[in-house]
C-alpha cells in the first residue's frame, strides 16, 4: 500500500498546486457570463446568443456610446477580427471605443468562427478552422457550419436590432484587421447597398494569390475557382459596378506578413487604378507592424473616416 498512498499524496499535492475542478468549473461559467463594463461615457457589453447560421452559441462584444442613453438611431461600425482572435481581442486592445464614443457610434466585435462544434481537425492549425472563419459560407460538407458571411450580414444585424433597439443597423459600416480586413472589404463589395463605408487595417487583399487564402479557400470551398474569386477583395473590386465609393486601407510598412506576401495591397491598388467608381486611400505607416499597438495608434483615423458616412 506504500506506493499507492505515496501516489495519492502526490496527486493531492498536484491538486493543491493546480486549479481545483470546482475552480475550473467556476472559471468556465464566468467565461460564459454576459458582462457590462463602463468604458468612457458608454458601456462595453459582452453578449452570447444561439446562432442558427453557425449551429452554436456565439459570443460578441458591443460597445454602446454614451449617446445610446439619450438618442435612438445610433449607427453601427462592425469591427471584424483576424486569425486566432475571439470577440475580445479588439474590444480590449484596439482603443477604438474612445473615438466611437466621441462620435456617437456603436462598435460591434463579432467572433471569428463557430466554436464548440467539435469538427475533427477544427483546431489543428491556427489559420484554418476555429478562429479562422474567413467571413465566407463554406460549401465543403465537413465545414458546412462555417457560415460567417451569413452570420455577419444577416443574423447579427437582426439580433442587434432586437437586443439593442436604439441601434440603427441600416446605418452601418465595416472595418477589420488582417483576415477581418478581408472580411470587411469583401462583405462591402458584395453588399454595397447595405453598408455606408469600408476601411481595413492590413487586410488580406488578394487571398486567391496568397498562402493563407489558398489554404482556407481549398478547405472551405474546394477547388472551385469562381467561388474563390467571389470572396477576394481584389477580384470583387475589379468587377465592382456600384456607386462611387471611397475605400480606406491602412498598412504598417514594417509588417512581416506584408513582406511575406500574405496581404498584397499592391494587387488591390493595381485593380482599382483605372476605376472611376472606387477611390482608394492607401496609407503606408512607416515603422509599424501587424499588431494591436499599430491598430490602436490609428483607430481614430478609421472612426473619423466612417463618421463622415454614418453621421453626415
Query: So which residues are the catalytic ones?
Result: 178, 255, 290
The cell for 235 is: 477580384
Query: HSE-up of 143 (CA within 13 Å, CB side)?
Result: 26
Q: How does strand 56-64 pair with strand 35-39?
A: unpaired
Q: What DSSP character marks residue 14?
A: H
Burial class (CB in 10 A: 0-12, 13-18, 19+), 143: buried
- Phi/psi of residue 31, each to 5°? -65, -30
Cβ 103 vs Cβ 41: under 8 Å: no
CA angle 98–104–109, rounded 5-degree value = 60
Q: What DSSP character marks residue 69?
A: G
Burial class (CB in 10 A: 0-12, 13-18, 19+), 270: middle
- Give CA–CA dist 224/217, Å, rounded: 9
- Give CA–CA dist 76/167, Å, rounded: 7
Amino acid at each position: 500500500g506504500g506506493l499507492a498512498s505515496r501516489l495519492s499524496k502526490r496527486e493531492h499535492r498536484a491538486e493543491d498546486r493546480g486549479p481545483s475542478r470546482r475552480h475550473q468549473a467556476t472559471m468556465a461559467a464566468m467565461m460564459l457570463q454576459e458582462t457590462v463594463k463602463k468604458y468612457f461615457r458608454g458601456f462595453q457589453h459582452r453578449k452570447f446568443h444561439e446562432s442558427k447560421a453557425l449551429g452554436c452559441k456565439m459570443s460578441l462584444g458591443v460597445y454602446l456610446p454614451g449617446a445610446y442613453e439619450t438618442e435612438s438611431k445610433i449607427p453601427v461600425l462592425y469591427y471584424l477580427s483576424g486569425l486566432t482572435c475571439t470577440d475580445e481581442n479588439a474590444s480590449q486592445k484596439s482603443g477604438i471605443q474612445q473615438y466611437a464614443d466621441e462620435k456617437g457610434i456603436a462598435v460591434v466585435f463579432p467572433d471569428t468562427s463557430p466554436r464548440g462544434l467539435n469538427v475533427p481537425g477544427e483546431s489543428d492549425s491556427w489559420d484554418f478552422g476555429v478562429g479562422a472563419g474567413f467571413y465566407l459560407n463554406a460549401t465543403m460538407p465537413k465545414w458546412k457550419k462555417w457560415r460567417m458571411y451569413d452570420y455577419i450580414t444577416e443574423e447579427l444585424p437582426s439580433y442587434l436590432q432586437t437586443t439593442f433597439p436604439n441601434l440603427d443597423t441600416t446605418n452601418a459600416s465595416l472595418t477589420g484587421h488582417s483576415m477581418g480586413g478581408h472580411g470587411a472589404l469583401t462583405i462591402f463589395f458584395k453588399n454595397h447597398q447595405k453598408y455606408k463605408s469600408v476601411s481595413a487595417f492590413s487586410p488580406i487583399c488578394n487571398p486567391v494569390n496568397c498562402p493563407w487564402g489558398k489554404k482556407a479557400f481549398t478547405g472551405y470551398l474546394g477547388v472551385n475557382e469562381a467561388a474563390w474569386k467571389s470572396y477576394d477583395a481584389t477580384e470583387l473590386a475589379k468587377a465592382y459596378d456600384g456607386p462611387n465609393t471611397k475605400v480606406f486601407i491602412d498598412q504598417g510598412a514594417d509588417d512581416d506578413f506584408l513582406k511575406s506576401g500574405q496581404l498584397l495591397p499592391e494587387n488591390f491598388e493595381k485593380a482599382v487604378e483605372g476605376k472611376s467608381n472606387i477611390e482608394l486611400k492607401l496609407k503606408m505607416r512607416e515603422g509599424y507592424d501587424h499588431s494591436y499597438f499599430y491598430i490602436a495608434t490609428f483607430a481614430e483615423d478609421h472612426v473619423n473616416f466612417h463618421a463622415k458616412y454614418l453621421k453626415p
